Structures are given as structure tokens and as C-alpha cells.
Amino acid sequence: MKILVCIKQVPDMESRFRPNGEKTWYDESDLAFRMNEYDEYAVEQAVQLKEQLGGEPEITVLSIGPERTVEAIKKALAMGGDRAVHIRDDRYYQKDPWQIASMIASYAKGEGFDLIFTGMQSQDRGSAQVGVIVAELLGVSCATTLVGFSYDGGTITVKRELEGGIKGVAKLKLPALVTCQLGLNTPRYPTLPNIMKAKKKEIASLTAAELTGEAELTATAAIYPPAKKGGGLVLEGEIGAQVDRLMGILKEKTAVLR
């Protein structure tokens, strides 16, 4: 069995963000990057399936981005991926989901992957499109937003998370692509021996230009901090004073403290 896991490297969402000079994306300086949280669940599920099948499947990790992306790739390899493909693209952020998905599909087309795992969305852009578009371009079946996954004899059973805590259960035959929701599993921390082992694993390098000539179908016209709606009162300063102020406000404005 051949498995592909598509991952993205994104900034820590606790960071402060500001637009870049050309107002097309965020300024990357001072940001710490890590693997997109949703993708950690995708990697983990692939590795669990490999373990279930006695180590037979080969897991390829794919990521698109600049040089720094290699760090996220190495983490995925240390979690249990076998080999990786890094599609180098310094201007990845100017490509829309259609172009990103076209690059992935263009790579995957001749490779005969039986199963593809992706996160359900990226934490920075959050379009929730790329995985589904890849599946459509490859002509494989697809289910999104997985919080449950099992494999048995060429068929996968998935549990999709719906609104209000309800889940939808469906069966798909391979080849298939699934997108992973938070909570699908418990992503492992790479151990030191596995980090060392990952250093020896192959990371093939391709350039974006080799993979797509597709034009964008949507474009970012501008990026900016959202307008503050005024919001409420902001209490800063020393803890003791903050405690007293909040206590006063709650006594005045709510009936819960008297």
C-alpha cells in the first residue's frame, strides 16, 4: 500500500500578525513556524495504519513551501513517515487553493497512492479546499472532517464530525483521500531515536515550476487587521488591581456577585 500525507508549515497562532509589505500575506519575520495542527492528526493516522498493517505501507510526506518547510517535514518523518517530497516554492502564499492542489495532484498522478491523508484545513488560510480538490483532480473518493478512521481489507470506515456533536459514518473503497479534524487521534511526540533515524530518510526536492502551469482562480486583494468593534473594557496592569477592578465591575453589572 502506498500512502501520501500532505502537510503544511504554519505560524504559531498565538503570535501577533501584521501584513507584509505588498499586503498580500502576513509578514513572516519574528514568527515561529510549526506543523499545521490538523496535519499532525493526518500524519498520526497514516502511521497508525502502517503499524496496523505490520509496517508494509510506505508513507510519503509532501509539503510545499520555502526552505524552512523542511523542519515540518523532518517532524513528520520522525513521527513515522518513510520518505518525503519537498516542493520548493518561496511564493507559495500567492498561490490559491486551486493552484496548490493542482501541484499536489500533478505530483501524485503517476505515483499510484492508495490512500491520501490531509488536514481538513490550514490554520493560517483555512480554506478547507485543498484536500477535496486533490481528490477530485485524481478522481478518487473523498470524505472530509474525520474524527474516526478504521481500515479493513481495502475499505475504510470514517466518522465525520457534523454540527452539534453528531457524527456521520460512511464507507469508502480505496483509492481515497480523507481530511482530518482535530481529535481524530493523539498525535505522537517524536522520540529522540526516531528523530535521529529521520535524518537519514530521503527528502526529494522539486520546484513549483516543474509541477503547475495553472493560473489562479481567486486572488488576495488585500490583507489587514480586522477593524476593532470597540469591544469592551481592557484591564491591564498589576494583578491585585485587576482583581479589584473586575470584582467591582461584576458586582455592578451582573447579579452573580453580591
Partner 1 sequence: MKALLIGEYRQGKLLDTTYELKAFADRLGADSVMLLVGSDSELPKYDGTLYLADAAKYGEYNPDQHKQLVLQAVEKENPDCIVFVHSSYGWDLAPRVAVALKAGQVSEIVALNEGAYEVNACNAKLRRTVTPKSGRCVLTIQAGAFTPSGEPQGTPQPERLELSGTASAIEFVGYEAAEQKGVDLSKAEVIVSAGRGVGKKDNVPVIAALASALGGELGASRPVVDAGWVDHSHQVGTTGQTVSPKLYVACGISGAIQHLAGMKKADFIVAINKDKDAPIGEIADVLVVADVMQFVPAFTAKCAR
Contact positions with partner 1 (CB under 8 A) in 191-250: 215-226, 228-229, 231-236, 239-240, 242-244, 246-247, 249-250
Binding status of residue 94 toward partner 1 by CB under 8 A: no
Q: Which member of 1, 70, 172, 195 binds partner 1 (CB under 8 A)?
A: 172
CB contact set of 258 (below 8 Å; sequence gap of 6+): 251
The residue (of 59 and 177) whose beta carbon lies closer to partner 1 is 177
The SS3 of residue 133 is helix
The residue (of 54 and 225) whose beta carbon lies closer to partner 1 is 225
The distance in angstroms from the start CA to the end CA of the chain is 65
The residue (of 196 and 247) whose beta carbon lies closer to partner 1 is 247
Q: What are the backbone dihedrals phi and psi of residue 101, each rounded to the nearest 5 degrees, phi first?
A: -65, -35
| Contact yes or no for 58/174 (Cβ under 8 A) | no
Q: How far is the CB of 26 from partner 1 (least distance, A)?
A: 6
| Binding piece for partner 1, criterion CB under 8 A, among 54-62, 81-89, 165-173, 203-211 | 165-173
**Alpha carbons 56 and 137: distance in angstroms, whole number:** 27
CB contact set of 63 (below 8 Å; sequence gap of 6+): 6, 7, 8, 9, 69, 72, 73, 76, 84, 85, 86, 87
Q: Are strands 176-180 and 203-207 parallel, antiparallel or unpaired?
A: unpaired
The residue (of 162 and 196) whose beta carbon lies closer to partner 1 is 162
Name which of residues 135 to 164 contact partner 1 (CB under 8 A): 136-137, 141-145, 157, 159-164
Q: How far is the CB of 257 from partner 1 (least distance, A)?
A: 7
Name which of residues 19 to 78 contact partner 1 (CB under 8 A): 19, 26
Q: How far is the CB of 41 from partner 1 (least distance, A)?
A: 9
**Alpha carbons 144 and 119: distance in angstroms, whole number:** 9
Binding status of residue 126 toward partner 1 by CB under 8 A: yes
From residue 64, give the alpha-carbon distance in Å to each of 84, 91, 230: 11, 10, 39
List, in sequence order, every residue forming a beta bridge with 63; answer none if it has no partner. 7, 86
> Binders of partner 1: how many residues, by CB under 8 A?
80
Binding status of residue 14 toward partner 1 by CB under 8 A: yes
Q: How far is the CB of 246 from partner 1 (least distance, A)?
A: 6
Binding status of residue 123 toward partner 1 by CB under 8 A: yes
- Whose grid coordinates read 514568527? 31
Binding status of residue 124 toward partner 1 by CB under 8 A: yes
